[in-house]
């Protein structure tokens, strides 16, 4: 659903939300991302439009970073019925943080994804954005499958080691 989610095609599909300057950047390892800078309002950021349906559930994820210190970053969708927060995380400088969550909408129609942070002095960096739709049936099927997998691993004694991974 997201156009150019990995930012490999420059800023194609991406635009500004509010009064900001966006630019495409490359890291030394070749990773590409979009930056929203010169922000004056907490909602000034990069954005992308999508069409959301009220009979779907949506999962959302993105990698985010800020230019200095740390700041709470939220992914928000402006829908036909108002604003819907999909996810939030504390983003830091020099470290990519995963923004993960989901949303439903009250009415089908156009929506606009943007990112907000109360600290207007920081640049907001965004990469690897994903928005995936699911029907209620698909969601329940996946939910039951996940429960069965955890239940089986508990009975068989599997041990999981979960570590924070850097992008």
| 81-137: pLDDT as tens digits | 999 999 999 999 999 999 999 999 999 999 999 999 999 999 999 999 999 999 888
Whether 163 is in a domain gets the answer: no
State which residues form the domain around 23.
15-156
**Three-state SS at 136:** helix
Res. 19: pLDDT tops 80: yes
Confidence at residue 135, expressed as pLDDT on a 0 to 100 scale: 85
Domains identified in the chain, total number = 1
Confidence at residue 151, expressed as pLDDT on a 0 to 100 scale: 61
Q: Give me the sign of the Cα torsion angle 38, 39, 44, 46.
A: positive
Whether 58 is in a domain gets the answer: yes
Whether 20 is in a domain gets the answer: yes
Cβ partners under 8 Å of residue 16, min gap 6: 22, 36, 44, 45, 46, 47
Whether 4 is in a domain gets the answer: no
Whether 5 is in a domain gets the answer: no
Q: Are strands 32-37 and 45-52 parallel, antiparallel or unpaired?
A: unpaired
pLDDT band at 54 (very low <50, low <70, confident <90, very high): very high
Confidence at residue 97, expressed as pLDDT on a 0 to 100 scale: 97
Confidence at residue 156, expressed as pLDDT on a 0 to 100 scale: 57
Whether 143 is in a domain gets the answer: yes
In this structure, what CATH number is given to the domain that contains residue 79? 2.60.120.260
Res. 71: pLDDT tops 60: yes
Compute and round to an integer the Cα radius of gyration of the chain.
17
Res. 41: pLDDT tops 70: yes
Res. 155: pLDDT tops 90: no
| Region 2-29 average pLDDT | 96
Cβ partners under 8 Å of residue 151, min gap 6: none
Whether 2 is in a domain gets the answer: no
Token reading at 77: 């969708």
Give how far Cα 123 sits from Cα of 1, 119, 158, Å: 25, 9, 42
């Amino acid at each position: 659903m997201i156009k150019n989610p990995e930012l490999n095609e420059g800023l194609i599909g991406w635009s500004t939300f509010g009064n900001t300057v966006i630019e495409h950047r490359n890291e030394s390892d070749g990773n590409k991302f979009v930056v929203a800078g010169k922000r004056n309002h907490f909602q000034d950021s990069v954005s992308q439009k999508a069409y959301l349906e009220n009979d779907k559930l949506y999962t959302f994820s993105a990698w985010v970073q800020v230019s200095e210190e740390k700041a709470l970053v939220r992914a928000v969708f402006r829908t036909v019925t108002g604003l819907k927060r999909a996810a939030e995380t504390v983003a830091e400088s020099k470290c990519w943080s995963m923004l993960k969550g989901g949303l439903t909408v009250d009415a089908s129609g156009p929506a606009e994804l943007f990112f907000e942070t109360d600290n207007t002095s920081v640049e907001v960096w965004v990469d690897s954005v994903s928005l995936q739709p699911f029907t209620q049936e698909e969601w329940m099927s996946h939910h039951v499958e996940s429960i069965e997998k955890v239940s089986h691993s508990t009975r068989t004694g599997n041990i999981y080691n979960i570590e924070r991974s850097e992008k």
